[in-house]
Amino acid sequence: PTSPASAPPPSLSTVPSPGGAPGTGAGAVGPRVPCRTRPWHRFERFTVAAVQGGCTISWQGRTVPSLVMLLEALEPASQPPAASEGAAGPTVRRVPLVEAWLQTPVEAGHTVHIIHADWRPDVCSLALPPGASSEPPGASVWLDPAVPTAVVDSGWARPREGPMPLVVLLPDRLVNSTLLCNSLRCVRRGWLDAQLKANFGSAAPAVYGSMAHTLFQTALQDHKWDEVTLEVGLKACVRERAEDLYACRQSDTMALGELRRYIPGIRMWAEGFLGPQHPAGEVRLAREQRGRWKVSELVDIEEFIFSPMYGLQGKIDATLRVGPAKAEGSRPPGGSGEAVAKAPAPLLPLELKTGRHFENGSPEHRAQVLVYLALLRDRYGGKQALGDNGMLCYIPRTPERGSDAPEPGLVGRHGRQGSFSRLGSGGSASQPEEPVTYGVAWGPEIAHVLHLRNELVAYMHANRAPPMLQKWHSCKHCPQLNNCALWHKVAEKGDRRSSGLEEHFDRLTAHVDPGHEQWLEKWCRLLELEAGVGLPTHDLMGRFMDSLPIERAQECVHGLRLEGCAEQGQEWVYAFRKSGGDAAHQQSILAPGDRAVLSAEEGPVQVAFVRVQAVALEGGDLTVTVHTDKACHRLIEATRWCLDKCTDDSTSTLARQRHHLFQLLWEESDRRKLQRVVDLAPPQFTTEGNVLHASVSPKVSQSLHSTGHSPIADPSAHGAPSTGAPEDVARAVADLVYLDQLNPDQAGALDLVLQAQDYCCILGMPGTGKTTTVAMVVGVLAALGKNVLLTAQTHSAVDSILLKCLQYGVDFVRLGRRAQVHPKVQPFLLGQGHAPQCVADVEGLMARTRVVACTAMAVHSPVLSRKQFDYCVIDEASQILQPVALGPLFLAPVWVLVGDHQQLPPLVRCREAKEGGMGESLFKRLCTAHPQSTANLTYQYRMNAAIMSIPNTLVYGGLLQCGSPAVAQATLDVPCWDSVVNQRPPFQGLPPWMRHVMDPAQTVVFLNTDAIGAVTERGPGGAVFNPLEVHLMVQMVSMFQEAGVASDSIGIICPFNLQIAHLREALPPTQAVDVLTIDKSQGRDKELVLLSLVHSNTDSHIGEIMRDLSRLNVAFSRAKHKLVVLGSQRTYAPHPPWSDLLQLLHSNSWVYDLPSDADQWPMRL
């Protein structure tokens, strides 16, 4: 089916786009594309030239220990000192770090941001440790009094005039606020959260807290706080979160009762801060002071901000304007004094907490508010009035009727203390009777928050885990306990003593043998290698700080103007346009379905993650349509925009893959899966023979026995769902009329599935009805009363099978986003067509529906946590990375892997990772280790005999066979072929080579361009294209269409994006012909396929991709009735597998040498 991602963009409302040209970034080393400019008035960006520990400085009348950095400016300093720069050079700065900053894990080569530095020469006197003067860069630089210096302290020792200086280490790696706060008591916990994204299920307290947030935010947006409106909103929350409530086993009654307990506290908060009868709400400030503040405006809800200035990111519950209170003696949030009272109401973050109340706020909660204050300073600094405080509000729950006891909560974890105790004592947890709001002030506490961030990022940058906490009473409550212990054993070679967990460590890791350790180490290394290729999400910010490196230009579409926006369901769609210049070349960078990052080219950095919906080039103008789940109304502030392609699946996806590897080795995980995947123990099968014998037609039964398939059986096999005796199977599937359509291979595959106790594989060669077979397998299992999880790598593959299931009358539930799902499948989406009105609806639907379908990366949906599956069917298994494939396998005892490892392998960009084994799918691993576990599908119904001979010769060793004589003898229907032969208009003057190409009898044609002398050309970044082949392709498409061949029957395949861009530009819009890369053509077919090889040169260079047999297999097997290959025989002949292919083509007289003037018809380029 056609992917909905390629659908035309919706009608967009016009948005005015201000003019202005993009600026030029300041000069980092190397060639750059001048497409980004940034304001530098708030901080300075440096690289660390040298670091010296063990120093002391005399400063402000005291002598203190110091860690000293020598910095070299990456950008011009905001306020250059007037004094001489000294011998160190004009861009060198010296920064002594003292107090809390003394332990900053900075190294030479790191990038740092220095914020609010007060650069002065002779600000302090520095004493080096013994021997340091002889080390580079030498005492003359360290001690030079003329070098501008700024001392960075934490501000606890004495009050500081002016803004407090701050240091941000490795700022281009953004740290999420939640991740940072989870690191407060154990840095290793936060590091593991970043490395291993676990799926710990839905906990009822967390779900209720999130729902209470939604209830509060909705009331804040609508400014309606009466009980009737809140009750309506409460019921809407339960309806919208029915799936999550189902996952954590909560009923509608339980949810309504629990949420009603928040309503009194929410109303009391509103009456205090918003109500007309109250002067202002009370805010508890530092040192037992109280203030009264008034909320004057809601600015945004759930505002997600990226801060390259502070190296942080987070989502703020609410951004408010909080005005000064009118009550006498109260303190406004922005400061004090008459000037503040007259100033505009400042912006403040509000963090809402619905759990236990901690006196003065827990350290984690206070740190979260400080992060949000930093985010607002970066996003709105210099443009809006900002407050010095953030609001931390605890909303109480009223006690249940008949109970005055406080609600039980999660046990707090005790961990490391020290400087972080300054974030607040945390007090004792209690449940207040009314809401309590604290003012968290921007001050010395932020130094400790940033120091924690710097420590965490340093470990991430070094790819090294922080030390274990070694406190079992705290560790036993940590959700990362299993992963932490395994990491210590495998990566750190630790034991029970070094872990500090003693016998608990043995219990968690004793089952992991050396072979398992090697397997885990190997895959962690491979994932790390792959993560280093492309553009990891956490490193995006470094590209937005200045102009764009030229080597990255092929991953960025810049110079875009916003054309319009529209709300579409629960998403927002934005359209951008670029005119002239390199618009045609940039068209090939992005494709529908790609994940990208949207940012402004000038002004404060504004970033949103988006999905590309459509890319079109018309009249030299490039239009890109993207969609995102949040309205980005502030887009209009910028004049020009960039879209950076995310070439990885995001950091969270990588962390999820790592977690799958570790979960397989957990102590409580299924050991049978570990043995099958890692140890390659043979799969087990039942001993009952061909269980479909009595349920299919006599002809198919006879064919089934003729296959002689007899998998190894183990009478002691256990752990898998029984399909029942043969007679029970026969009765269950008696009404499945589509079983009569099975060919012998398909019947054998179905029987193998029913006998499998662990797993089996179905190898579907091109055109063999793999999708049909999978749908039949799913239908039979559902008829037998088995619960089936159906997954695949892509949405289109999942939907292709579901469309077949619809034909066979198989009911199912589809999980996913509406925009990514085929229109005919959308009615079966949970929450869409299957729209639950309550938790009971979800429970009933999931109980009676046997088949649930989603992509392999969506198996972490909370809905799946309660469903007990008997089988997991994975289509496209040969294209899925092994760590990704493990995710679905955890959910069922028996797996059915479907694919073809002779076609596209998993996509791996890093050559070293590919050579290390990352390109081997789990499907190939198991098929190769145990061929008896695999059923081959060899009857193909797509290609005629001539086309089939190509993959049969190159790849399958003659195993492929046509499913019928009609398939073998099929030719392309050219309705006007008689006019072509007789050269009637418009075919008069048609050259012989074109008549040969169009001849239906010529089912395979290789058009050799050597006589024309075409030469491959190169575009930006070394991308290749061939103008001659573009011209010839357009002429052939035009002639076939003139002869009556439908446009949707024609497909053009080319491995190179730039050639595809030129082809799409050259083809008239009226010629609706699909132009696809080889990868995009997987799973599709056309009656006529035209293949452009592009490379044509004297040194026979064709690149790695054109020697990849798996990709060539896909390209050659997409055509049903006619295949035309256009390229240079001389260029390709020296290389296997082309030498074998050309021998086959010549032996069948399928090669046609184009004349030297072929490019001159009907016009010269």
Residues of the chain with CATH 3.90.320: 204-403+416-455
CA distance 665 to 886: 12
Q: What is the CA radius of gyration of the chain?
A: 33
Half-sphere exposure for 576 (CA within 13 Å, toward CB): 27
Q: Residue 695 — φ and ψ, nearest 5°? A: -110, -10
Residues of the chain with CATH 3.40.50.300: 653-716+724-937, 950-1160
C-beta of residue 463 within 8 angstroms of C-beta of residue 191: no
Put simply, whether the predicted model's pTM sits higher than 0.95 gets the answer no
Share of the chain above pLDDT 70, in %: 80
Q: Is the pLDDT of residue 165 over 80?
A: yes
Q: Is the pLDDT of residue 11 over 70?
A: no
C-beta of residue 784 within 8 angstroms of C-beta of residue 805: no
In sequence order, what are the residues at sequence separation of 6 or more whose Cβ sits closer than 8 angstroms to the Cβ of residue 689?
Answer: 726
Q: Residue 1147: exposed, middle, or buried by beta-carbon count in 10 A (0-12, 13-18, 19+)? A: exposed
Q: What is the pLDDT of residue 585?
A: 66
Residues of the chain with CATH 2.40.30.230: 541-647
Mean pLDDT over 1138-1150 rounds to 97
Half-sphere exposure for 750 (CA within 13 Å, toward CB): 35
Q: What is the pLDDT of residue 669?
A: 84
C-beta of residue 955 within 8 angstroms of C-beta of residue 938: no
Overall size of the chain counted in residues: 1165
Q: What is the pLDDT of residue 2?
A: 34
Poorest-pLDDT segment among 187-196, 619-628, 1095-1104: 619-628
Read off the pLDDT band of 134 (50, 70, 90).
low
Read off the pLDDT band of 154 (50, 70, 90).
confident
Cα distances from 249 to residues 214, 788, 842, 863, in angstroms, run 20, 21, 11, 10
CA distance 213 to 227: 16
Q: What is the pLDDT of residue 551?
A: 39
Go through 1087-1119 and write b for each residue having 16 or more CB atoms within 10 A of its CB, e for each that does not: bbbbbbbbbbeeeeebeeebebebbbbbbbbbb
* 846 vs 411 pLDDT, higher one: 846
Q: Residue 669 — φ and ψ, nearest 5°? A: -75, 165
Task: Domain 541-647: state its class.
Answer: mainly beta
Neighbours of 976 (CB within 10 A): 17
C-beta of residue 394 within 8 angstroms of C-beta of residue 435: yes
- pLDDT tens digit sequence for 756-788: 999 999 999 999 999 999 999 999 999 999 999
- pLDDT tens digit sequence for 56-112: 999 988 999 999 999 998 754 444 443 334 444 567 899 999 998 999 999 999 999
Locate 694 and state its tokens.
């009595």
Q: Residue 703 — φ and ψ, nearest 5°? A: -65, -35
Q: Residue 383: exposed, middle, or buried by beta-carbon count in 10 A (0-12, 13-18, 19+)? A: exposed
Q: What is the pLDDT of residue 140?
A: 76
Locate 272 and state its tokens.
């205090």
Read off the pLDDT band of 1065 (50, 70, 90).
confident
CA distance 76 to 27: 10
Q: What is the pLDDT of residue 12?
A: 42
Mean pLDDT over 1057-1065 rounds to 90
Read off the pLDDT band of 51 (50, 70, 90).
very high
* 647 vs 733 pLDDT, higher one: 733
Q: Is the pLDDT of residue 275 over 80?
A: no
Q: What is the pLDDT of residue 734?
A: 66
C-beta of residue 1089 within 8 angstroms of C-beta of residue 1083: no
- The greatest distance separating any two alpha carbons of the chain, rounded to the nearest whole angstrom, comes to 104
Q: Print the SS3 string covering 908-930.
A: CCCHHHHHHHHCCCHHHHHHHHC
**Beta strand 62-73 with 571-579: parallel, antiparallel or unpaired?**
unpaired
* 721 vs 197 pLDDT, higher one: 197
Cα distances from 740 to residues 153, 703, 993, in angstroms, run 80, 12, 46
In sequence order, what are the residues at sequence separation of 6 or more whose Cβ sits closer than 8 angstroms to the Cβ of residue 603?
Answer: 38, 39, 637, 638
Neighbours of 96 (CB within 10 A): 25
C-beta of residue 321 within 8 angstroms of C-beta of residue 391: no
Q: What is the pLDDT of residue 158?
A: 64
Task: Domain 653-716+724-937: state its class.
Answer: alpha beta
Region 950-1160: CATH code = 3.40.50.300
Q: What is the pLDDT of residue 33?
A: 38
Mean pLDDT over 1020-1039 rounds to 91
Q: What is the pLDDT of residue 554?
A: 59
C-beta of residue 552 within 8 angstroms of C-beta of residue 37: no
Read off the pLDDT band of 629 (50, 70, 90).
confident
Q: Is the pLDDT of residue 422 over 50?
A: no
Q: Is the pLDDT of residue 223 over 60?
A: yes
C-beta of residue 353 within 8 angstroms of C-beta of residue 266: no
Poorest-pLDDT segment among 285-299, 400-414, 831-845, 873-887: 400-414
CA dihedral of 623, 626, 632, 635, whole degrees rounded to 10: -20
CA dihedral of 262, 268, 270, 271, whole degrees rounded to 10: 160
* 139 vs 964 pLDDT, higher one: 964
C-beta of residue 856 within 8 angstroms of C-beta of residue 887: yes
Locate 384 and state its tokens.
């809006």
Poorest-pLDDT segment among 45-49, 206-210, 516-520, 651-655: 651-655
* 634 vs 1086 pLDDT, higher one: 1086
Locate 398 and state its tokens.
């009223």
- pLDDT tens digit sequence for 560-610: 888 888 887 667 888 999 887 666 667 778 888 788 888 877 766 667 788
Q: What is the pLDDT of residue 520?
A: 96
Q: Residue 93: exposed, middle, or buried by beta-carbon count in 10 A (0-12, 13-18, 19+)? A: buried
Q: What is the pLDDT of residue 1158?
A: 92
CA distance 842 to 849: 11
Half-sphere exposure for 320 (CA within 13 Å, toward CB): 25
* 1141 vs 38 pLDDT, higher one: 1141
Mean pLDDT over 507-517 rounds to 95
Q: Is the pLDDT of residue 533 over 60?
A: yes
- pLDDT tens digit sequence for 369-388: 999 999 999 888 777 788 88
Locate 138 and state its tokens.
């030498």
Name the range with the highest mean pLDDT among 294-298, 347-351, 594-598. Answer: 347-351
Mean pLDDT score across all residues of the chain: 84
CA distance 695 to 733: 7
CA distance 586 to 559: 11
Locate 335 and state its tokens.
């400061």
Share of the chain above pLDDT 90, in %: 58
Q: What is the pLDDT of residue 472?
A: 95
Poorest-pLDDT segment among 289-303, 559-573, 943-957: 559-573
Q: What is the pLDDT of residue 359?
A: 81
Poorest-pLDDT segment among 454-458, 606-610, 626-630, 979-983: 606-610
C-beta of residue 326 within 8 angstroms of C-beta of residue 278: no
Pick the CATH number of 204-403+416-455 from 1.10.150, 3.90.320, 3.30.70, 1.25.10: 3.90.320
Q: Residue 853 — φ and ψ, nearest 5°? A: -125, 140
Mean pLDDT over 332-357 rounds to 71
Q: Is the pLDDT of residue 550 over 60?
A: no
Q: What is the pLDDT of residue 600?
A: 78
CA distance 615 to 605: 24
Read off the pLDDT band of 853 (50, 70, 90).
very high
Read off the pLDDT band of 833 (50, 70, 90).
low
Poorest-pLDDT segment among 162-176, 328-342, 1100-1114: 328-342
Poorest-pLDDT segment among 216-225, 339-348, 636-645, 880-889: 339-348
CA distance 921 to 906: 6
- pLDDT tens digit sequence for 744-753: 999 999 999 9
**Beta strand 607-618 with 621-628: parallel, antiparallel or unpaired?**
antiparallel
C-beta of residue 1056 within 8 angstroms of C-beta of residue 1106: no
